[in-house]
Structure 1
Amino acid sequence: MSIENQLKDIEQDVINLRRWFHMHPEVSFNEENTSKKIQEELDKIGIPYESNFQNSLRPNEKEYSIIATIEGMLSSNKKLGIRADFDGLPIKEETGLPFCSINEGIMHACGHDAHAAMLLGVAKILWNNKDKIAGTVKLLFQAAEEVGGESGVKPIIDELETTGGIDNVIGIHIWSAIPSGQIVLKNETIFAGCGSIKYLITGKGGHGARPDLVHDPIKAGCDLVNNLSRIPSNFYNVLDNSVVAICQFESGSLGNIFPTTAKLRGGFRYFTPGGEVDLRNAIRRVAQATELLHNVKIEVIENAEEEGLTPIYNTPELIEPARKLIENIDGLELSPQNTPISASDNFCKLIDKYPGFYAILGAAKPDEEIYPQHNSKFDINEKVLIKGCEFLVKYALNYFL
């Protein structure tokens, strides 16, 4: 039976898996049931796998990632990794879907339900075509992508290193704002690097009737937000698109009390390697200037969450055969988009170690309003899932030729 017909046979299975994952989302480091479901599906197929890894960066957290291994029947030392994440987000779902999240305050708003379902579909097809594989395929089901930093992917990297590593790694990310059936296969940078920002402003509180007697952390914080917004155009390389954003501002307890402290949290994005250093230097300078103006103390808490993420770099030598492959996949075409996406992903930690690429699969629902990733009404066109499977399957099979 042709690969196309094999894929057609499992199309509804992949959709059903996506819906199960969508109904049962779990946030990072809590994906116990999701991991069990993936393992159950691998058991049905008969693919061996390893789990229960140790997380050296978060030794007190439970670890739910899985690495499944398909050994080809043809002789070769080549090893290819295919990665999919499967954690959800702390967002209350408002899609109204019949398979809406049953876990209050948690939803799959970034497409990780689709990623896990597609990789399970890929697993079944590749397992049934082991006789065409000259080497080893590692299926990397990764927990805890949304936490950022390296901790979510570290257990997979450590396990790969102790078992001989891989030569290359690929992945695919669903994207609701790109037309269905289009796939972005961009050379070089595809996702942004990022880092976190956390400020603690300490001033002098007092009565709301006497602003002249206080050192107001709220006004200092407002100025800080405005000044940070000037960094991309005035204090950083304008040829490298960048974002500096404060998304959380906490201060005060009552309408007639100037508080003593304010806390601000946010992040930054960039595309050029090394950009993190320049942005962090600018962020510190803005804090120092604002501190002097408002007579407050501003503490810049470095790496407030974890180590930042580098940009995801697609290796041109691996992207080119992927682009040619699209010509032979009905219902899939290359996207005209040639600009990187300002989101970040800890897949970068894998691709920094093992050359590869990240493909972006368009999944906009036709004739419906588009809701972006991380929106409470985020949804995708499920018809593209099998095309994502087909792309990954055919790339893997061609990789070993």
Structure 2
Amino acid sequence: MMKITLFIAMTLAVTSPASALPFGTKSPDGGTEKQEMASVRGAAKEVSRSQTPEASAVVESFFESSDSGSLQETLHALSNADGMHDFLQSTRRSLHRHPEVMYELPFTSNTIAGILDELDIAYTRGWSKNTHPEVLSGLCFPVTMSVQLTLFTAVLPLGVRRAGRIHASHVLIYQEDMDALPILEAVKGIDGFKSMKDGQMHACGHDGHTTMLLGAAALLKKIESQIVGTVRLVFQPAEEGGAGMKRMVEEGVHLMEPKAQLGFGMHVWPTLPTGIVASRPGALMAAAEMFQITLTGKGGHAAMPHQTVDPIVAAASLISSLQTIVSRTLSPLESGVISVTAISAGDAFNVIPGDAVLKGTIRALSTETLLSLRDKVQAMVESTALLHGCNSTITYSPDYYPPTFNDAELFEWTKDIGALISRDGKLRDVEPTMGGEDFSFLAEVIPTTFFFIGQGTGGDETHHIPRTDFGLHHPSFALDEDVLPIGVELHANLALRSLKRLAEEGSDIITKAEL
């Protein structure tokens, strides 16, 4: 006889009191943060209380035979049950009201911890340290960073199964992100759950991602005695430029015993219809690099430019020249993009400033192309500065994101699972996107597959949101809450069906680092 454990790993930020909103902050309904957390925990408790003997029997039958049809019906019913709906909606809306960026996630972390407590899932600490607080603070977002962060690893004992059928080494790892963006929310028509923080909002759906994974934790907990294998669910900080997943990989989140063999992730996608699941083999998302360029000239009076070295003119020339790198030096058969997204120089109408600062990103579908573009940007900055008589410096993000790459073999035998959940019964094939995703760091060390879940055709009076097809990072981005149970269902199906396949094949997959 053998005892199997389910691990749920969660990153929680340890933050200074000055940077955290104090308990007592009023919510839109007049309550406090404490009351709001209590309400979410209450919804989690209701989910945990509901009995599902029929579901447990179906899962046991699935692992002992091939009754996958009944499993799909059961997981769909559990994902869409009234109690689960209330839990998902209240959790997501609470997280949306309290967005937090990068590594500073006190409310989000406390909310997740409280939910795990109600689900009777224990957790331990000690992961995900922000090792570049000064660089990230200047390069990305103007917020205070904590150096010491916390990962909560929850241990959930599973039932005892017959020896010879169960392999504790059959391990899956799931990742979802928790952080928001420094964007002022402009969504019209939201009733009661708009961001309470000016200049911060969940504009990339991470509140939904966190909620989906919590829903999956609740669902798997209900049928834990029948699960064959080990599942780790990872809630990470700082996906938006902080490489939170890289910190966790460096610290060995995938190497905890028993070691993870396969990994999965997903992201809501507003350009796809709601409920459509999509992916592709190979490169799905781009490698990405952030940069900051400072051009230093000589300031002076705007009436006497000949006595100055104008960094604004140099910056204007550089912005145009950077666009020739992709169009003139990159093969038309390769993909790359260089975008200058911010410029700051001076603050007076009659003064030529002493310096100009540009910020932006470099993106490509391969690491080799990204690094080549980076070298060419460096050369262009130096030559343009020299031409205009300026000095130059360029700072890059401490961690460029590799491309998010779907393992071909893993994709081949999980694509049918995506099709099973997709509302049209098909896994939609998508072209690679130039967006970056730090799930890619996990994809470098174990075989992984990443999915998109469409959410672009939602929005009505029931949801209090007029449109859900605005792009990611748009101030009017709004999540279609109909995707929440779909995400739970996809997570649960991937877990159970992948574990069964590993058990049947007696797979002995090892991490890429060990090859």
TM above 0.5, one fold? yes
**467, 484, 493: which one aligns with 1:394:** 493
User: Aligned partner of 2:100: which letter?
Assistant: E
Q: Distance between the aligned counterparts of 1:248 and 1:194, measured in 2?
A: 17
**What residue is the counterpart of 2:251 in the other structure?**
158
- Identify the match of residue 476 of structure 2 among 353, 377, 391: 377
Q: Cα 1:281–1:58, aligned 2, differ >3 Å: closer, same or farther?
A: closer
* 2:217 equivalent among 123, 134, 142: 123
Query: Does 1:4 find its partner at 2:103?
Result: no
Residues 39/358 of structure 1: CA separation in 2 closer, same or farther (3 Å cut): same
Superposed, which structure 2 residues align to 1:139-158 within 5 Å?
A: 139-148=233-242, 150-151=243-244, 153-155=246-248, 157-158=250-251
Assess if the C-alpha contact under 8 Å between 2:419 and 2:427 holds in 1.
no
In the alignment, is the contact (CA less than 8 A) between 1:69 and 1:138 conserved in 2? no
Kindly state the Cα deviation for residue 162 of structure 1 after the two structures are TM-superposed: 5.9
- AA of the residue aligned to 2:322: L
Deviations, residues 306-328 of structure 1 (Å, cap 9, x unaligned):
22110010112111222212443
| Counterpart residue identity of residue 91, structure 1 | I
Tell me if 1:45 matches 2:140.
no
Moved more, 32-41 or 218-227: 32-41
Larger-Rg structure: 2
Contact 1:70 1:138 in 2 (8 A): no
Paired residue secondary structure (1:105): coil
Give yes or no for the alignment of 1:177 onto 2:251: no
The letter of the residue matching 2:494 is Y
Which structure 2 residues correspond to residues 2-401 of structure 1 after superposition, within 5 A? 2-9=74-81, 10-53=84-127, 55=129, 57-58=131-132, 60-73=146-159, 74=161, 75-76=166-167, 77-96=169-188, 97-98=190-191, 99-148=193-242, 150-151=243-244, 153-155=246-248, 157-160=250-253, 163-164=256-257, 165-301=259-395, 303=396, 305-329=397-421, 331=423, 333-334=425-426, 336-366=428-458, 368=467, 370-401=469-500
Q: Secondary structure at the match of 1:230?
A: helix
Q: CA deviation at 1:144?
A: 1.7
Task: Tell me the CA shift for residue 275 of structure 1.
Answer: 1.5
Letter in 2 for 1:89: L
Q: Identify the range of structure 1 (10-19 vs 385-394) with the bigger mean alpha-carbon deviation.
A: 10-19
Identify which range, 160-169 or 342-351, moves more after superposition. Answer: 160-169
Letter in 2 for 1:5: A
Alpha-carbon separation, structure 2, partners of 1:241 and 1:100: 37
Secondary structure at the counterpart of residue 362 of structure 2: strand
In structure 2, relative to structure 1, the CA distance for the partners of 1:72 and 1:385 (3 Å cut) is: same
Deviation at 1:21, TM superposition (A): 1.0
- How many positions carry a matched residue from both structures? 398
Q: Which moved more, 1:162-171 or 1:49-58?
A: 49-58
Distance 2:103 2:264 in 1: 23
Tell me the SS of whatever aligns to 2:449: strand
Shift of 1:219: 0.5
**Are 1:56 and 1:155, in contact at CA under 8 Å, matched by a contact in 2?**
no
Contact 1:69 1:136 in 2 (8 A): no
TM-score by length of 2: 0.73
Amino acid at match of 1:39: A
- Structure 1 Cα separation of the partners of residues 285 and 128 of structure 2: 28
Q: Distance in 1 between matches of 2:497 and 2:309?
A: 65
Structure 1 gap ranges (5+): none
SS in 2 for 1:344: coil
- Shift in CA distance, 218/81, structure 1 to aligned 2, threshold 3 Å: same
List, as ranges, runs of 4+ consecutive aligned residues in structure 1 with deviation greater than 6 Å.
none
Query: Once superposed, what is the RMSD of the aligned Cα atoms?
Result: 2.1
Other structure's SS at 2:444 match = helix
Query: What is the rounded CA distance, in whole Å, between the counterparts of 2:391 and 2:317 in structure 1?
Result: 14
Q: Distance in 1 between matches of 2:175 and 2:394?
A: 35
Distance 1:89 1:133 in 2: 36
TM-score calculated relative to the size of structure 1: 0.92
Listed one character per residue, the Cα deviations across residues 113-136 of structure 1 (whole Å, up to 9, x for unaligned) are 000110011111112222332211
Percent of counterpart pairs with the same letter?
27
Larger RCO of the pair (alpha carbons < 8 Å, separation 6+): 1
- Residue 308 of structure 1 aligns with an amino acid whose one-letter code is Y
Q: Which runs of 5+ in 2 are unaligned?
A: 1-54, 56-73, 134-145, 460-466, 501-515
Letter in 1 for 2:79: L
1:343 aligned counterpart, secondary structure? coil
State the Cα distance separating 1:33 from its structure 2 match: 1.3
Residues 158, 172 of structure 1: CA spacing in aligned structure 2 closer, same or farther, 3 A cutoff?
Answer: same
Give the Cα–Cα distance (whole angstroms) in 2 for the partners of residues 151 and 144 of structure 1: 5
Q: Identify which range, 63-72 or 179-188, moves more after superposition.
A: 63-72
